[in-house]
Amino acid sequence: MNNWLTIAMPKGRIFEEAAELLQKVGYDFTDVEDSRKLILDFPEYKVRLMMAKPMDVVTYVEYGAADCGIAGKDVLLEQDRDVYEVLDLQISGCYLAVAGLPDNPLSKIAPKIATKYPRVASEYFREQGEQIEIIPLNGSIELAPLIGLTDRIVDIVSSGQTLRENGLVEYEKIADITSRFIVNPVSYRIKNEQLDPLIEALSEYV
Ligand SMILES: Nc1ncnc2c1ncn2[C@@H]1O[C@H](COP(=O)(O)OP(=O)(O)OP(=O)(O)O)[C@@H](O)[C@H]1O
Ligand SMILES: O=P(O)(O)OC[C@H]1O[C@H](OP(=O)(O)OP(=O)(O)O)[C@H](O)[C@@H]1O
C-alpha cells in the first residue's frame, strides 16, 4: 500500500462539504458519512480514509499516520503544528471573534476569557496589551459570560444565531476561518506523484 494515499478526514460539520469537493475531483466518499467505521479503504482510488475529530486531523498528519488531511484554519492557528498548509479549500467558512454581554467593559484586573482556543485568545489579547486569564471550556462557550464566569468568550461565529439567542454581542473579529488541505512534509516529498494531481485538481475548484 506504499503508493496509496491516507487522508485524515474531519468527522462532523466539515465532512459533507469536504466530501462534495472531493467528489468533484473524482473521489466519491459521500456514502461514508453514515458509517461508523473509522478506517475505510477505497482500492479503486488507492486511498485510505481515516475519520478523525476535526481537532485531531492535524495530529495524524503531523505524525505521518495520514499523508494529508482537511482541517479548519482555527485548528491550525491554535495548534501551530509541523504540517504544510497547501490549499485554502474555501469551505466551512466562519470566523473567530471576541464576544460578551453588551455594554460590558473588560474588568480592570485580569479579565477572564472562556474559550476552546487558549493559544489564539492569549495571543490576541497579548497584542492588545491586555493581561487576561483563560478559562478553558470544550463547548457551549456562550454560557460562561451569561452566568458571570467570564468577561468575554473567544469562539467561532458562523450565522451569529448562538450569540443572538443568548443576548451576546460581538466585540472584535479575530480571524476569518475556512478549511485547509494539509500535507505531512515527508509525504509531500515522497508521495508527490499521488499528491500533486490531487492538489492540482482541488485548486481548480476553489
Ligand atoms: N458554526 C461553527 N462552529 C464551529 N465550527 C465551525 C462552524 N462552522 C464551521 N466550523 C468549522 O468546523 C470545525 C469544527 O467542526 P465540528 O463542529 O464538527 O467539530 P467539533 O468542534 O469537534 O464538534 P463537536 O465537539 O461538537 O463534535 C471547526 O474547526 C471550524 O473550522
Ligand atoms: O454563529 P452560529 O451559527 O450560531 O455558530 C456558532 C456556534 O457553533 C459552535 O458551537 P457548536 O455547535 O459546535 O457547539 P458547542 O458549543 O458544543 O461547541 C460555536 O462554538 C458557536 O457556539
C-beta 71 within 6 A of ligand 1: no
**Interval 167-187: pLDDT, tens:** 999 999 999 999 999 999 999
Give the position of cell 485531531.
Answer: 56
Mean pLDDT for the chain?
A: 96
C-beta 83 within 6 A of ligand 1: no
What pLDDT shows up at residue 30? Answer: 87
Helix (H, G, I), strand (E, B) or coil at 2: coil
Q: Which residue has the higher pLDDT, 24 or 31?
A: 24
Pairing of strands 169-177, 152-157: unpaired
Which residue type does 124 have? Y
Closest among 34, 29, 11, 9 to 19, alpha carbons compared: 29
C-beta 92 within 6 A of ligand 1: yes
C-beta 158 within 6 A of ligand 1: yes
∠ Cα 111 115 119 (to 5°): 90
In whole angstroms, give the CA distance from residue 3 to residue 85. Answer: 22
**Interval 87-97: pLDDT, tens:** 999 999 999 99
In whole angstroms, give the CA distance from residue 1 to residue 22. Answer: 21
ipTM: 0.96
Contacts of 151 (CB under 8 A, 6+ apart): 100, 104, 106, 107, 111, 112, 113, 145
pLDDT category of residue 32 using cuts at 50, 70 and 90: confident
In whole angstroms, give the CA distance from residue 206 to residue 7. Answer: 19
- Strands of the 169-177 sheet, one edge to the other: 133-136, 112-115, 152-157, 94-100, 169-177
Mean pLDDT across 19-36: 92
**Interval 122-168: pLDDT, tens:** 999 999 999 999 999 999 999 999 999 999 999 999 999 999 999 99
Contacts of 193 (CB under 8 A, 6+ apart): 3
Mean pLDDT across 105-127: 96
Is residue 50 over pLDDT 90? yes
Is residue 100 over pLDDT 80? yes
Count of residues making up the chain: 206
Main-chain phi, psi angles of 110, to 5 degrees: 35, 70
Ligand 2: atom nearest CA of 164 is 4
For residue 176, how far is its CA from the centre of ligand 2 (angstroms)? 15
